[in-house]
Amino acid sequence: MHCLDCLKTVNFVSASFEKRNNADMSDITSGKRYRNMTTELLWKWIITLTLNTDGVSVFRTSRTGSLWPVYLTINELPPECRFSLKYAIVCALWLHPSKPPRQAFLQLLMSQLKELSTNGETFKTAEGLQHCKVILIFITCDLPARAMILCMKQHNGQYACPYCYNPGVTIGSDHLHQYWPIKHDAIARTHASVVSDVTEAVDLRHPVKGMLNVVSPLLALPGFDIVDGTAIDWMHVVYLGITRSLLDRWPTFSDEIYSIGDKVTFLDKRLLSIKAPDHFSRIPHTLKEFSTWKGSENRSWLFFWSLPVLRGILPREHYIHYSILVVGCRLLCGMKISSNDIDRARQLLLKFYERHELLYAALTGSTPATFCH
């Protein structure tokens, strides 16, 4: 059976297609990339897919291996059912002590997607049976999984950013690239530049600008843009990246002006006195336990608890700087965002990034200070 045969049973809702004409961003279907890729005269119906994969621990020890499912989600479905088990399409499973092989892992799926994007398939839609083109337009994975399927160096390697040519710098005695100083002249990667780097890497048999000498199966898919089609790993970059990095830095460096090491007990009293509304799945945990916080706890801290808890404790300049991060990220996480919101968020986050280097100059920490993208 074709791995996407289950798509034929899906009754598509045309409301998602209507969102293409909405100026505000509220879903993947209102994005510029989606609009560009689905505007085609030859096909009335185009179904788009997003691919996700990640390693899931299913055994007590990691030596036994992880389960790697590969999912496709149908972007035209309403979000409330798009991510439900009923409609998420499991295309492949890998269970082995070692990680999936970079090339073979997605090869069969890519050949099937190539066929679907070229010749299309007949599906049941709200308007009856339709011959549709099916295209993969996005992949969304966490940093380790993304590096694996893009065939790139891991996120702490030199030139590990999949979006630009900022090489990053190492901190301390190890060789891990954990900090990306702001570079206004950093050149953006393009699909063509990535193809060129991979070709050179294969010829030379060693990595070139972060690309390994292995060709990602994604490059075999016509029309798929390996740079624009790769989503930013917001959870690791923001919640488990810069948010956790600051939580680690503030109490640790006792000689620094921003040190709050002797005020953590007081801050915990403030934090634990917060009465969270019922719709929060996790209530605040103490700051002393922040290293065990999950991504969702770091998210709640960033958006809801941190500013009232840190007010009057963190030095004024550092507090304002941190609030710029909170407001910039909050703007991008609204249910509906305008192009003005995006411009404003860009300005704020750039300002935060620039000031970050000045305010936290002592880059001697053991945790990553920032990620590039």
Query: What is the C-alpha separation between 125 and 203, in angstroms, rounded?
Result: 47
Least separation in angstroms between residue 155's CB and Zn ion is: 11
**How much of the chain is helix, strand and coil, in % rounded to 5?**
45, 15, 40
**What sign results for the dihedral spanned by CA atoms 82, 85, 4, 109?**
positive
Least separation in angstroms between residue 180's CB and Zn ion is: 7
Least separation in angstroms between residue 162's CB and Zn ion is: 8
Contact 109, 70 (CB under 8 A): yes
Mapped onto helix, strand or coil, the DSSP state of residue 46 is strand
Bridge-based pairing of strands 56-57 and 66-74 is antiparallel
Site residues (CB under 5 A) for Zn ion? 161, 163-164, 166, 372-373
What Cα–Cα distance (Å) separates residue 18 from each residue in 21, 35, 232, 340? 6, 11, 26, 22
Least separation in angstroms between residue 183's CB and Zn ion is: 9
Residue closer to Zn ion by CB (options 177, 270) is: 177
Residue closer to Zn ion by CB (options 225, 297) is: 225
Please tell me what DSSP assigns to residue 360: T
Query: What is the C-alpha separation between 31 and 29, in angstroms, rounded?
Result: 6
Residue closer to Zn ion by CB (options 181, 315) is: 181
What Cα–Cα distance (Å) separates residue 266 from each residue in 102, 207, 275, 311, 318? 49, 49, 17, 12, 19
Least separation in angstroms between residue 163's CB and Zn ion is: 5
Q: Which helix (H) or strand (E) holds 129?
A: strand 128-139
Least separation in angstroms between residue 64's CB and Zn ion is: 35
Residue closer to Zn ion by CB (options 125, 230) is: 230
Residue closer to Zn ion by CB (options 258, 352) is: 352
Least separation in angstroms between residue 152's CB and Zn ion is: 12
Question: Residue 304 corresponds to which tokens in the numbers above?
Answer: 């809801």
Q: In this structure, what are the phi and psi dihedrals at residue 66, rounded to the nearest 5 degrees?
A: -120, 160
Residue closer to Zn ion by CB (options 161, 221) is: 161
Q: Which residues of 164-186 are buried (b: 16+ CB within 10 A; e: fewer)?
A: bbbbbeebeeeebbbbbbeeeeb
Please tell me what DSSP assigns to residue 239: I
Say how far residue 326 (Cα) sits from the centre of its chain: 18
Least separation in angstroms between residue 303's CB and Zn ion is: 24
Count Cβ atoms below 10 Å from residue 239 Cβ, excluding itself.
22
Query: What is the C-alpha separation between 325 and 343, in angstroms, rounded?
Result: 14
Residue closer to Zn ion by CB (options 188, 320) is: 188
Please tell me what DSSP assigns to residue 301: I
Residue closer to Zn ion by CB (options 163, 303) is: 163
Residue closer to Zn ion by CB (options 92, 232) is: 232
Least separation in angstroms between residue 123's CB and Zn ion is: 38
